[in-house]
Amino acid sequence: MTLSVEEIFETASMTLYQNLDIRTTTLGINLKDCIHSDFTIFTDKVYRKIHDNAVNLIREARKLEQKYGIPIVNKRISITPVSIIMETHAEHGKFIEMAKTLDRAARDAGIDFIGGFGASVQKGMTKSDRVLVESLPDVFAETERVCSFLNVGTNVAGMNMDAVNLIGAMLKKTALKTRDAIGCAKFVVFVNAPEDNPFMAGAYHGVGEGDMSLNIGISGPGVVRSVVEQNRECDLTQLSEIIKRTVFKVTRSGELVGRELAKNLGVQFGIVDISLAPTTAMGDSVAGIIEAFGIESVGAHGSTLAVALLMDAVKKGGAMASGNVGGLSGTFIPVSEDTNMIEAVKRGSLSLDKLEALSSVCSVGLDMFAIPGDTPEETINAIIADELAIGIINNKTTAVRVIPVPGRKAGDSVDYGGLLGEAPIMEVNRFSSKSFLKRGGRLPAPITSMRN
């Protein structure tokens, strides 16, 4: 395929002025072959497999950054869900030691985050699953790079409310054990969690994957925002076409880098996740795209329509560009990691209820939002369950990453800096669902699960 001078200049401009980057290269690693009855041998094998492959990932990624001039912001590792490989070592202390082993391997290799310290519990929980959840507050307190997930539901299984009911208490303990509750930012609860997601905190290497695979998370909200701002007079059909063409170009560049990196590593190329992932950098905002559509402040009436338009165009553009689109693939609307989202909460245009409504058409859910630290654990569980019910009923992935910050009330703010940004404390409905949540059991799978 030949490239024109204009196309080369356009890609260079995206990188130089519009924050185009490869947001993450995530190497998925199967650890089932490391399992050993001797825990010391087990952890040593885990450390060596992760460390050695992570060093190769960073070395080869840096070579491609220099070759193509496109920044690769994060280099990450995802692993087999830890609850699976720890079945014969299901003790609290051993889970902590395994977490420290993962953390040390990532740190020594120079990896940003390592994901997969989690479990799939959509129909029930094993002893290993329960010990894992109980260990998480200490895991987050004693590690820096370890991220965790819990998949509590699928379209076929329904949603395990007994598992959901464990999460609020776990998060409140984590909040007390970590600075400004930052440990909670490393945990996400899903329904329909994809096994090839390259983004943290929910990345893990699913049991349906091969021994190793490389998954790419691209970005480009700044690029999309730029073309939207240049086309303020077009109608919605034309706007959708413009966004589709832009995402097509961004996806092709990401797949080019991803395939070459996988080849150089000698591993299988997995997927390109086309999610628009914001940062707090100027102009690198998904909410900024929505506002460029003509919404005065994200959260205003019309915002759900705008997010639906953006999501549809992003998915179509990415699907046209690659046969390996996977992961979450849509757009993220985290509060703390998006400057325009932060400002929308502060000015009162975006509430938690409206954020939930937006998540009905976006790919991820309620992401990186903070609530008062005195929020009852049952209310936290209810917030989670509401969001995940959207995913179950609408046949999509949804997730929640909520941070109950001790000592803070609605209207306050906590600044995490860097990638995690600033989290304004959002108001929570003061009425209780405790009697409903304590029923437990399982939300039955919707009728759409009977597709055979």
pLDDT at residue 8, as a whole number: 42
Can you tell me which residue has the tokens 């437990």?
440
> Phi, psi at residue 38, to the nearest 5°?
-85, 115
Two tokens at 300? 């205003």
pLDDT at residue 282, as a whole number: 76
Q: Count other Cβ atoms within 10 Å, centred on residue 438.
A: 11
All domains of the chain in start order, with CATH? 29-191 (3.20.70.20), 216-447 (3.20.70.20)
pLDDT at residue 13, as a whole number: 54
pLDDT at residue 329, as a whole number: 85
Two tokens at 237? 């059909």
- What tens digit of pLDDT does each residue of 224-245 get? 888 898 898 899 999 999 999 8
Contacts for 204 with CB less than 8 Å, ≥ 6 apart? 28, 78, 79, 80, 81, 115, 116, 118, 149, 193, 195, 197
Long-range pairs, 3-8, Cβ under 8 A, ≥24: 7/249
pLDDT at residue 14, as a whole number: 55
Low-confidence stretches of the chain (pLDDT < 70) are 1-20
Contacts for 24 with CB less than 8 Å, ≥ 6 apart? 72, 73, 74, 75, 76, 112, 198, 199, 200, 216, 217
Residue pair 298/290 in contact by the 8 Å Cβ criterion: yes
Going by the DSSP 8-state scheme, the letter that residue 202 receives in this structure is T
| pTM of the full structure | 0.92
280 vs 182, 207, 315, 418, 442, CA distance in Å? 17, 34, 24, 8, 38
pLDDT at residue 5, as a whole number: 41
**DSSP of 290-329:** HHHHT-SSTTSTTHHHHHHHHHHHHHHHHHHH-S-B-SS-
As to burial, measured by CB atoms within 10 angstroms (0-12 exposed, 13-18 middle, 19+ buried), residue 264 is: middle
